[in-house]
């Protein structure tokens, strides 16, 4: 059963430089750690259980040898990086794996971990449709092995000077809206909140909700920013909107190629 939006992932060429830049944007950025056998390392912008992950490749050869996900991430970074993926958390996610298998998208459970700078480690299992975590028109799923309380004890929610307090929505660029819908409706069983249009992007789509986060699938309806993005980078997360404390009248959106 899927229970909440977990985190969004932003690929960055240089982790230290990105962490410094995001601190300059008013975020509290903390060291994350390294993923064994993946060639990647990260930093965390935590709002609570929900967070943003800045991910970088520290060993390109190891990343490429880790499998298709590593190759896709390396290629995404060679294009400049930016939004790479997003993650929904649940319990007993093997049930969703079975539903994904019926759609021909695989559903293998993969054990992963992260070694933190303080010597502690976090563990989890994921299911990535098609076996790839990055730059796909759907999320991958996570089931945490490390209890929530233990993770928050080591990585407490940050104090963000810009007032950010959560992830409001993720917009996902898709080539074929109807082809993407069965994943969200059948395999993930997310709440369908109806259709939407984005005239500013020359796009139309469908909105799904999990907890207090929207996932907005958008397909191009003519030449515009969305169609250009699909042409350049393919399908996948396109835009991320953050939630701010009520007293803060700010709005931030993150795009695949950087920030605006």
Please determine, for residue 258, whether its predicted confidence score (pLDDT) is greater than 60.
Answer: no
- Contacts with 19 (C-beta within 8 Å, 6 or more apart), sequence order: 29, 43, 54
Cα 209 → chain centroid: 15
Residue range 240-245: mean pLDDT, rounded: 94
- Per the CB < 8 A criterion, the answer to whether 19 and 29 are in contact is yes
- At residue 199, the 3 state secondary structure works out as helix
pLDDT at 259 over 70: no
CB-based burial label for 194 (10 Å; 0-12, 13-18, 19+): exposed
- pLDDT band (50, 70, 90) for residue 250: low
- Residue 219 phi/psi, 5-degree rounding, is -115, 150
Q: What is the pLDDT of residue 226?
A: 97
- CA dist 73 and 65 (Å) reads 12
Mean residue pLDDT across the chain: 94
The DSSP-derived string for 47-71 is SSS-EEEEEEES-HHHHHHT-HHHH
In this prediction, residue 255 carries a pLDDT of 60
pLDDT digits (tens, 9 = 90+) for 15-73: 999 999 999 999 999 999 999 999 999 999 999 999 999 999 999 999 999 999 999 99
Q: What is the pLDDT of residues 155-211, one digit of tens each?
A: 999 999 999 999 999 999 999 999 999 999 999 999 999 999 999 999 999 999 999
Structure tokens at 237: 């997360």
Q: What percent of the chain has pLDDT over 70?
A: 95
Contacts of range 155-161, beta carbons closer than 8 Å, 24 or more positions apart: 155/30, 155/44, 155/46, 155/51, 156/46, 157/46, 157/47, 157/48, 158/27, 158/28, 158/29, 158/30, 158/45, 158/46, 158/47, 159/28, 160/26, 160/27, 160/28, 160/45, 160/47, 161/26, 161/27, 161/28
Mean pLDDT of 113-138: 96
Greater pLDDT, 102 or 247: 102
Domains of the chain, start order: 2-154 (3.10.180.10), 164-259 (3.10.180.10)
Token pair 């994943």 in the structure block, residue: 183
Q: Radius of gyration (Cα) for the chain, nearest Å?
A: 17
pLDDT for the residue numbered 246: 84
């Amino acid at each position: 059963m899927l229970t909440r939006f977990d985190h969004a992932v932003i690929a960055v060429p240089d982790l230290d430089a990105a962490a410094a830049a995001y601190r300059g944007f008013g975020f509290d950025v903390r060291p994350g750690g390294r993923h064994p056998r993946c060639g990647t390392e990260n930093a965390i912008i935590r709002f609570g259980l929900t967070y943003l992950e800045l991910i970088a490749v520290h060993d390109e050869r190891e990343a490429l040898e880790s499998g298709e996900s590593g190759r896709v991430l390396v290629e995404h970074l060679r294009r400049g990086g930016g939004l790479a993926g997003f993650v929904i958390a649940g319990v007993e996610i093997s049930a969703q794996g079975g539903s994904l298998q019926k759609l021909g998208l695989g559903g293998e459970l993969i054990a992963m971990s992260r070694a933190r700078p303080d010597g502690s480690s976090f563990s989890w299992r994921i299911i990535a449709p098609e076996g790839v975590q990055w730059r796909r028109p759907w999320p991958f799923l996570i089931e945490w092995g490390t209890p929530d309380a233990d993770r928050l004890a080591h990585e407490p929610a940050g104090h963000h000077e810009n007032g950010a307090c959560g992830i409001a929505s993720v917009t996902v660029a898709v080539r074929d809206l109807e082809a993407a819908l069965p994943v969200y409706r059948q395999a993930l069983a997310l709440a369908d909140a109806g259709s939407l249009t984005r005239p500013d992007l020359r796009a139309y789509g469908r909105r799904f909700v999990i907890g207090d986060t929207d996932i907005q699938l958008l397909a191009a309806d003519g030449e515009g920013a969305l169609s250009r993005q699909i042409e350049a980078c393919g399908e996948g997360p396109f835009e991320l909107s953050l939630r701010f404390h009520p007293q803060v009248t700010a709005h931030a959106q993150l795009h695949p190629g950087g920030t605006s």
